[in-house]
């Protein structure tokens, strides 16, 4: 009986230690920001989002983002309505996700303060379409927290988001996306 209790305690300690070790490898935020700009001939469209979820596993370099499309805020109420209703169809496709990897994860010393270049590769899912995306970014390590910034371009047509004929000339298919997140250590 004594032995059993001892074994139990040891096992429990083992679980606790391993989970806490694993947990320290991961960083997250629920209030990251993503903004986008589409510069057309007549219309420049900008929008921003302030509750982006992001999780990074520093051990493997795995990086994932999730965002609710309806959370993008525009300067014009009508633009926001058109974005959700006519372009990205937020009722049908409420969520966009990125699942990928920091390709050069080995170059980043997560325990040492500094600024590191990151090359990110992965899959972006939006409007029911999944496309491979690559982006250059920077990871800033400072007193246990991570700053992650990146900018990259996507084409609306890659995600079958159609621009209607009459405004095709005025709007750009290219959208520049800017990501800016501060990640905290994820505690078990």
Partner 1 sequence: MTKITNILLTAFIVAVAGNTLQAQDQDLLQLVKDSANDTKKQWSTAAFKSTRVINGQSMELLGKGVLDVRILHRFGLLSNGADNFFGLDEASMRMGFDYGITDNLMIGVGRSTLNKELDAFFKWRPVRQADGGFPVSLIWMSGITAHTMKWADTTRKNYFSSRLAYYNQVIIGRKFSNAFSLQLSPILVHRNLVTNADDENNTWALGFGARLKLSKRTAFVVDYHPILAGREPGTKDPLSVGFDIETGGHVFQLHFSNSTGMNEKAFLTGTTDDFWKGDIRFGFNLSRVFQVRKKK
Residues that bind partner 1 (CB under 8 A): 1, 3-4, 7-8, 11, 14-15, 18-19, 22, 26, 28, 30, 51-53, 55-57, 62-64, 66-68, 70-71, 73-78, 80-81, 84-86, 89, 91-92, 94-95, 97, 164, 166-167, 186
Residue 17 or 109 having the CB closest to partner 1: 17
Closest separation between CB of residue 17 and partner 1, Å? 12
Tell whether the torsion through CA atoms of 54, 181, 131 and 81 is positive or negative.
positive
Which CB, 79 or 149, lies closer to partner 1?
Answer: 79
Question: Shortest approach of partner 1 to residue 158 CB, angstroms?
Answer: 20
Q: Which of 107, 111, 108 is nearest to 145 (CA)?
A: 111
Whole-angstrom Cα distance, residue 153 to residue 142? Answer: 28
Location of structure tokens 């320290």:
24
**Residue number, 115 or 167, with CB nearest to partner 1:** 167
Nearer to partner 1, 154 or 163 (CB): 163
At closest approach, how far in Å is the CB of 138 from partner 1? Answer: 20
Name residue 185's beta-bridge partners. Answer: 27
Cα dist from 145 to 53, 60, 98, 141, 187, whole Å: 16, 17, 21, 6, 13
**Residue 161 near residue 87, CB atoms below 8 Å:** yes
Closer residue to partner 1 in complex, CB, 149/186: 186
Alpha-carbon gap, residue 64 to 188, rounded angstroms: 18
Q: What is the nearest approach in angstroms of partner 1 to the Cβ of residue 11?
A: 5
As measured in angstroms, the least distance from the Cβ of 91 to partner 1 is: 5
């Amino acid at each position: 009986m004594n032995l059993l209790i001892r074994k139990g305690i040891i096992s429990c300690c083992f679980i606790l230690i391993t989970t806490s070790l694993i947990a320290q490898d991961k960083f997250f935020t629920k209030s990251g920001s993503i903004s986008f700009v589409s510069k057309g001939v007549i219309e420049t469209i900008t929008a921003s989002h302030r509750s982006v979820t992001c999780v990074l596993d520093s051990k493997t370099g795995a990086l994932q983002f999730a965002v609710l499309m309806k959370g993008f805020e525009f300067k014009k109420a009508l633009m926001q309505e058109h974005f959700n209703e006519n372009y990205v169809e937020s009722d049908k496709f409420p969520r966009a996700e990125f699942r990928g990897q920091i390709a050069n994860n080995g170059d980043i010393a997560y325990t040492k303060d500094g600024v590191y270049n990151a090359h990110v590769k992965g899959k972006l899912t939006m409007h029911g379409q999944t496309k491979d995306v690559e982006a250059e970014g920077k990871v800033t390590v400072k007193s246990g927290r991570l700053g992650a910034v990146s900018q990259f371009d996507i084409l609306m047509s890659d995600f079958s988001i159609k621009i209607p004929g009459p405004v095709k000339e005025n709007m750009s298919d290219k959208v520049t996306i800017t990501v800016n997140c501060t990640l905290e250590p994820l505690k078990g």
